[in-house]
Amino acid sequence: MSSPQHPHAPATNLQTHSTSGGMTSSAWQTGTRVALFGMIVNFIFATAKILGGFFGNAYVLIADGIESGMDVAGSFVIWGGLKVAARPPDATHPYGHGKAEPIAAIIVAVGVLAAAIGLAVQSMREIFLPHHAPAPYTLVILIVVVIVKETLFRYVNRIGRDVESTAVQTDAWHHRSDALTSAAAFIGISVALIGGKRWQSADDWAALFACAVIAANGIRLLRPAFYEIMDTAPRKIVKSVCSVASSVPGVLEVEKCRARKMGLDFYVDLHARVDGNISVHEGHEIAHRVKRAIQQSDSRIADVLVHIEPAQL
Q: Give the DSSP letter string of 93-153.
A: -TT-STTHHHHHHHHHHHHHHHHHHHHHHHHHHHHTS--PPPPTTHHHHHHHHHHHHHHHH
Which run of H or E residues covers position 309? Answer: strand 301-311
Whether 167 and 271 map to the same domain: the answer is no
Q: How high is the pLDDT of residue 187? A: 84
Q: 32 or 248: which carries more pLDDT confidence?
A: 248
Whether 35 and 160 map to the same domain: the answer is yes
Whether 180 and 302 map to the same domain: the answer is no
Residue 14 is assigned to a structural domain of this protein: no
Of the residues 207, 229, 251, the one at which a domain ends: 229
Number of domains in the chain: 2
pTM attached to this predicted model: 0.59
Sheet holding 265-275, edge to edge: 253-262, 265-275, 301-311
Query: How do residues 153-175 score in pLDDT, each as one tens digit?
Result: 888 888 887 777 777 777 787 78
Whether 42 and 159 map to the same domain: the answer is yes
Q: How high is the pLDDT of residue 25? A: 60
Residue 18 is assigned to a structural domain of this protein: no
Residues 264, 81: Cα–Cα separation, whole Å? 12
Q: How high is the pLDDT of residue 132? A: 65
Under a CB-based contact definition with an 8 Å cutoff, are residues 3 and 305 in contact?
Answer: yes
